[in-house]
Amino acid sequence: MSTGSRKPARETRGHRSGQGSALQRPVSQRKQLDHLKRTLARRGVFRFQDMYAIAQEYLARHPGIAAAVTTRFPFVVLDETQDTSATQHELLDLVFASSSTVVQRVGDTNQGIYSDAASAGGPASLFPLPGAPELPVSRRFGPQIAAVASRLAVRRPQQVRGVGPDGQVAVLLFDETTVSDVVPTFERMAAVTVPEDVLVRRPPRVLGARQNPKTSPVYPQSISCYLPGYTPTSTPTAHRTLIGAARAASARWKTGPDSHEAATELWNAVRASVSAPTGDGLPALSRLERSIATTGGRVRILLRELLLNADEFDAASWGEATEQLTIQLKLLDGCQLRQAVMEFTPAAAVGAAPGPAPAAVAAVPAARAVPGPIQSAKGETHAATLNLECLEKTGRKFDVTEALRMIAESSDPLRELKSVQAAVQFVFVDATRPTHLLVLAARRDRSEKYADAMTGAGWDIRDLTEH
């Protein structure tokens, strides 16, 4: 990680509205675009870039606002600078460049995974400044995981020193017939390797660069190839019934770290379970009022007390919860819960597998892992992390295989192809999440040739096709 402080130089660029080179378009197209933008603006629909254009126009029309803001904030810390876009830097410069405010930027360029975070010649490309202090010590993990991270630093050389818990690095080799064994094997490894109290505080995570497969015939491509029933948690229809969503969200809520995500997941399921007579339906959770004197506040209490904190649902408690929720939703926006999604169903046996477990692992309870995209895990700390090999965005390379090759061949990350660097950068982010166990899953026919080098580095190599 690097830090740097600077006084941003004011730039005389025009504001961006996301319209590109609109002035070079034919007159008819410019008129159509202008009409479209104005129509969307009247409806309250704006693109992400529009927000920065509006802010810059506001500053141009009311220059005194910049002086007020800099007086209010004499010191600014800009965290995760590697994921700050040039447009965002430009707006900050307009506010703070000519003031006495100290702007301190903190970040790690090797953690940047967003393609628009920097542009050639823009302020973001100047981070970190020459002479910026380095923070190479990580207290999250120990030397084994730190060595992996150091070999995968593709943006700039970085020797990470791990002074955290002694951890373990492993590789799971699989083929198409054993791909479904990858996640269960990882869960059993986590249960054996990581102390139980640590697993409770920081549940294991299963991460991949892609969530859903594309049209390419190569395999596997995404998280859903390993977990056929996987649905992104941001999708409101991840559960067929509302009680299924409530049970899943309640389990996440009680683990602690994902409490906000659990509440959002449950509310999204409620939003997908209603029929709205008018309007756009229920608002997002962030727009619900918090005061208990309001309907939105009372809905929040219902979510927390009757659904998220429930020990287990029976027919009576579920009926009471849905009845009260129905009343408040009618008051909130005239919405009605659809009868089909309100039905009570008994809890299914979680994690039950067909047939008896092998004798060697039958006595080892699995630590259930939470799947998701690598982007969602930035900044998180896990007891154990599994990186599923996925197809990178060009559709020609696999991220974990490329990472294993680079480590086995001791290649210079900075001399790799840009497409390889982009793929491996996701693996770097994933590899710096766990405290005790880092597992990389790779297809056997692509990565078996690197096994000897990994074993020599002290890694645990497990070939699932042999069992």
The alpha carbon of 230 is separated from its chain's Cα centroid by a whole number of angstroms, namely 15
| Residues 288-327: tens digit of each pLDDT | 888 888 888 888 888 888 888 877 788 888 888 888 888 8
Distance between CA 398 and CA 389 in Å, rounded? 6
pLDDT score at 250: 80
| Residues 394-412: tens digit of each pLDDT | 777 889 999 999 999 999 8
Nearest Cα to Cα of residue 347 among 245, 234, 259: 245
The pTM of the full predicted model, rounded to 2 decimals, is 0.62
**Mean pLDDT value of segment 352-376:** 58
Q: Is residue 147 predicted with pLDDT exceeding 80?
A: yes
Q: How confident is the model at residue 185 (pLDDT cuts 50, 70, 90)?
A: very high
Domain boundaries, the chain: 2-135, 143-231+361-466, 242-342
Q: Is residue 171 predicted with pLDDT exceeding 90?
A: yes
pLDDT score at 334: 76
pLDDT score at 84: 81
Q: Is residue 31 predicted with pLDDT exceeding 80?
A: yes
CA distances from 220 to 332, 376, 428 (A): 45, 21, 20
pLDDT score at 224: 86
Q: Is the peptide bond before 358 cis (omega within 30 degrees of 0)?
A: no
| Residues 413-459: tens digit of each pLDDT | 888 988 888 888 889 888 999 999 999 999 999 999 999 999 998 99
**Mean pLDDT value of segment 381-400:** 87
Strand order in the sheet with 205-208: 370-373, 205-208, 382-388, 434-443, 168-174, 460-463
Q: Is residue 35 predicted with pLDDT exceeding 70?
A: yes
Distance between CA 96 and CA 114 in Å, rounded? 25
Q: Which of 13-17, 93-97, 275-279 has the lowest mean pLDDT?
A: 13-17
Q: Best-predicted range by mean pLDDT among 5-9, 116-120, 131-135, 461-465? A: 461-465
Distance between CA 305 and CA 325 in Å, rounded? 12
Residues 6+ apart with CB under 8 A from 188: 361, 364, 366
pLDDT score at 463: 94
Q: Is residue 200 predicted with pLDDT exceeding 70?
A: yes
| Residues 88-104: tens digit of each pLDDT | 888 898 899 888 999 88
Q: Is 11 left (phi over 0), alpha (psi -120 to 50) or beta?
A: beta
Task: Work out the mean pLDDT of the chain and round it to a whole number.
Answer: 79
The alpha carbon of 297 is separated from its chain's Cα centroid by a whole number of angstroms, namely 28
| Residues 218-257: tens digit of each pLDDT | 788 889 889 877 766 544 334 557 887 788 778 777 765 5
**Mean pLDDT value of segment 109-135:** 65
Buried b vs exposed e over 93-114: b needs ≥16 C-beta within 10 Å?
A: bbbbbebebebebbbbbbbbbe
Q: How confident is the model at residue 260 (pLDDT cuts 50, 70, 90)?
A: confident
Residues 6+ apart with CB under 8 A from 346: none
CATH number of 143-231+361-466, picked from 3.40.50.300, 3.20.20.70, 3.30.1490.20, 2.60.40.1120: 3.40.50.300
Distance between CA 302 and CA 324 in Å, rounded? 8
pLDDT score at 270: 83
Q: Is residue 23 predicted with pLDDT exceeding 70?
A: no
pLDDT score at 58: 92
